[in-house]
Amino acid sequence: MRTIPFDILVQDVDRPTNFPSGSCPNYTAQANQTAPALVAGTDYLATSDGYYCMGDMRLMGTVTLPNGVYVIDGGDLTVGSQANVTCAHCTFILTNRNNGTSGIQIGNVDINGGAQLNLGPPTSGTYDNILFYQDRRASSSSSATNNINGNSASVMSGAFYFPTRTLDINGTSNLTFNCGQFVARTVNFSGNGSITNTCTGGYGDETITGQHVRLVA
């Protein structure tokens, strides 16, 4: 088993810094439709690292995304309640091209209940095993919350990295995670259904370890 120490995630995996010139376009996959293949220059701009750069990313219909790293520049990732989203090996990065350290607009992930998701992370490269990555410069405002829902057919794998903000995971629809690893300022689990997290298959040979809090008499 290969162990990934927690401090590697914190210190050695950083946000992208190579942005294309010009604003990255907003992308919307329309509700009740099957989205066509992504078009460079219209749906996204390519970075020099070969990443897909977008502003807001709104997935409302049936979408099959090509494998890769999706850099969301100052916007949100929103998945609608009727969406059906598939990507075998993707990382979604919430960041901002601005190099400042305060007052930077960094978006959130908002996945609505009812959405069907089949999402897995890359198995190599800079963002190996990371499904969601939120820039560490994101403010820790109490109103800035990442929401993960989905229907009973949803399966998500890999690490959910939101180090400065809250992550709310709602199990009303019986969510399933495959080797889900959660790093956030606060993680809240709620709902009347179940949340299953098993570790079988392609991501089971990697774990995130870190400091543990213990009560000492």
* Assigned token pair, 37: 């293949």
Confirm whether 100 is domain-assigned. Answer: yes
Number of independent structural domains in the chain = 1
> Is 148 part of any domain?
yes
d(CA 90, CA 87): 6
Instruction: Please indicate, yes or no, if residue 162 is contained in any of the structural domains.
Output: yes
Identify which of 183, 191, 190, 149 has the alpha carbon closest to the alpha carbon of residue 166: 183
Contact between 92 and 70 (Cβ < 8 Å): yes
Contacts of residue 166, Cβ cutoff 8 Å, sequence gap at least 6 = 142, 144, 145, 146, 184, 185, 186, 187, 188
Instruction: Give the Cα separation of 171 and 190 in Å (integer).
Output: 6
Q: Is residue 215 part of a domain?
A: no
Q: Is 22 left (phi over 0), alpha (psi -120 to 50) or beta?
A: left
- Does residue 113 lie within any of the structural domains? yes
In this prediction, residue 63 carries a pLDDT of 97
Burial class (CB in 10 A: 0-12, 13-18, 19+), 13: middle
Let me know if residue 49 belongs to a domain: yes
Q: Which structural domain, as residue segments, surrounds residue 101?
A: 2-209
Residue 204 and residue 4 in contact, taking contact as beta carbons nearer than 8 Å: no
pLDDT of residue 142: 65
* pLDDT tens per residue, range 79-118: 999 999 999 999 999 999 999 888 889 999 999 989 999 9
Sign, CA torsion 129/147/133/26: positive
Torsion region of 103: left, alpha or beta (phi above 0 gives left; psi -120 to 50 gives alpha): left
pLDDT the model gives residue 216: 40
- Residues in the chain predicted with pLDDT less than 70, given as ranges, are 1-11, 142, 200-217
In a domain, residue 51? The reply is: yes
Q: What is the pLDDT of residue 125?
A: 95
**Does the reported pTM lie above 0.85?**
yes
- Distance, in Å, from the CA atom of 157 to the CA atom of 132, rounded to the nearest integer, reads 10
Residue 216 is assigned to a structural domain of this protein: no
3-state secondary structure of 5: strand
**What pLDDT score was predicted for residue 39?**
97
